[in-house]
Amino acid sequence: MDRYAVIGNPISHSKSPAIHAAFAAQTGQSLTYEALLGPLDAFAATVAQFRAAGGRGMNVTVPFKLEAFALARRHSPRAQAAGAVNTLVFDADGIFGDNTDGAGLVRDLTHNLDCPLAARRILLLGAGGAARGVLLPLLAARPARLTLANRTVARAEALVADFAQRAGDAPLDACGFADLAGRQFDVVINATAASLADEAPPLPPGLYAPGALAYDMMYGRGDTPFLAAARADGAARLTDGLGMLVEQAAESFLLWRGVRPDTTPVLADLRRQIEGR
């Protein structure tokens, strides 16, 4: 039976084993999927041990995505753009690294939420690894404009400059939070870690165009601080990142097994569990 795993630190909270077990049962795939606690000073050794024991692939979560990028000898274009890897494939040619986060976000928006991105004004908040990981797939969706806003403007500008070289004349710009005053967007995506600190990014009022969607990559029961602030500012639609979690997992599953699972029932079941229904 083929073995897969997710590695992180901490890892006990991970929902990936349940998600992939559901995918395997649905698609008739014979595999096991476990959660591995990676020692902070022994990521590569832990991966090597798992691979030597017959492992076929791994998901990678905090704080090892940069180490996973360095460990892989081949990378997908989206992993190259992100500079980070969340999916490892072990094959005869060595270790292949991919990043499915951006694909998971775009599929959640367009497929689950019926929110087309083409010709839309998109605001992406944050300039860290989460934002970098989704920029290329968002640009590939051909928005009217993609604005990257961050508390430290220089970080946003540096990220935009890097992607401008990759994306050519893509409609991409950078600014600080205060510089957003007077502008409106159709989709606002929070890729900051503010929700982890029970905070919301300090955004000016009036950001949400009629019918706009507010999307927080974090997820949990009830509104995150960002979503609560978006609701107060008039966002028409609000959602957290649970769908992104399931969709990026499905993208990994497709890479490993060559079949895409139906995410709708898996996402619905996970949502019921989180909300205690």
Confirm whether residue 231 is marked as ligand binding.
Answer: no
> How far is residue 36 from each of residues 45, 48, 180, measured CA to CA in Å?
12, 13, 42
Asked whether residue 217 is marked as a ligand-binding residue, the answer is yes
Residue 153 among known ligand-binding residues: yes
Sheet containing strand 121-125, edge to edge, reads 172-176, 145-150, 121-125, 185-190, 208-216, 237-239
Which region holds residue 241: left if phi is over 0, alpha if psi is between -120 and 50, else beta? alpha
3-state secondary structure of 265: helix
97 is in an annotated binding site: no
Is residue 61 marked as binding? yes
Structure tokens at 135: 């920029």
To the query of whether residue 195 is one of the catalytic residues in this protein, the response is no
Residue 30 annotated as binding site: no
- Copy the structure tokens of residue 247: 């969709």
User: 149, 156 in Cβ contact below 8 A?
Assistant: yes
Catalytic residue among 7, 24, 35, 65: 65
Burial (CB count <10 Å: 0-12, 13-18, 19+), residue 52: exposed
152 labelled binding-site residue: yes
Tokens of 154: 């220089």
- 239 annotated as ligand-binding: no
Is 101 assigned to a binding site?
A: yes
236 is known to lie in a ligand binding site: no
Positions marked active-site: 65
Binding residue ranges for NADP(+):
126-130, 150-155, 217, 241
Binding residue ranges:
14-16, 61, 86, 101, 126-130, 150-155, 217, 219, 241, 248
Binding residue ranges for shikimate:
14-16, 61, 86, 101, 219, 248
